[in-house]
Copies of this chain bind each other. A is one copy, B any other.
Amino acid sequence: MSTSEVERARAPWRRDAQKRHDRLIEAARREFAARGVDASLERIAREAGVAIGTLYRHFPTRLDLLVAAFEPRLQEFLEGAEKAMEMDDPWEGFVYYMENLFRAQAGDRGFNDFLSRRFPSSPETERIHDQVCHQIEAVLTRAQEAGKARPDIAMADIVNLIWSNGRMIDATSVTAPNAWRRHLYLMLDAYRAERAHPIPEAPMTDEQLYDAMVQLNKVD
């Protein structure tokens, strides 16, 4: 809906091209959501009732299609994130942020993958990922400065939670679609400042984190 308006404004497209473009995005949304970011492009084209060559004409790379398909879910996520920042209680804000994040992962396998990985070849997705990292940093720091979140954790630990949750969702989305929520609240108990116990390993550095997110693209 918002997509077609924006896109239509962008260029004076032929009407048939516009129609196929829209159908491709719809099919991509379904397939990515159901099968993750590695979904078959040929299948998406088939699903959209369009030839594979046409898909490549509209979206030269997988990431182009990905970005177009995730737009609405990304907006939804960012709105929730903004709300978290505005909450009075820093801990409540942190909890709200995490629940919003985990829910976004749970709703869409593609978006789940998207949040877990990075795609160095795409400046557009890199920008989005940087933004999310900054959000996490901010919401966590605020909760720490209020004395509610334990001070010995870092952004990398939250990314670890994203990976954890991503896998939980892969396992449970069919069988126990709300299981992620239990896991989240259990994890939150680990992040509270009260009675925290020391951790015998340092958090990952920013480089390690980045490389690890890229690594997930290679893991089958």
Seen from chain A, the residues whose Cβ lies within 8 Å of a Cβ on chain B are 35-36, 38, 116, 153, 157, 160, 163-168, 170-172, 174-176, 178-179, 181-183, 185-192, 194-197, 199-205, 208, 211-213, 215-216, 219-220
Cβ-defined contact, B185 with A196, below 8 A: no
How many identical chains are in the complex? 2
Which 3 pairs from chain A and chain B are nearest by CB? Answer: A164-B164, A167-B167, A182-B201
Q: Which of B157, B166, B187, B199 contacts A167 (CB 8 A)?
A: B166
Whole-angstrom CA separation of A170 from B218 in the bound complex: 10
Cβ-defined contact, B172 with A204, below 8 A: yes
* 5 pairs from A and B in contact (CB 8 Å cutoff): A35-B220, A178-B201, A189-B189, A189-B196, A192-B195
Cβ-defined contact, B204 with A176, below 8 A: yes
- Nearest Cβ on chain B to A164's Cβ, whole angstroms: 3
Whole-angstrom CA separation of A35 from B108 in the bound complex: 26
Cβ-defined contact, B190 with A189, below 8 A: yes
- Closest B residue to A167 by CB, please name it: B167
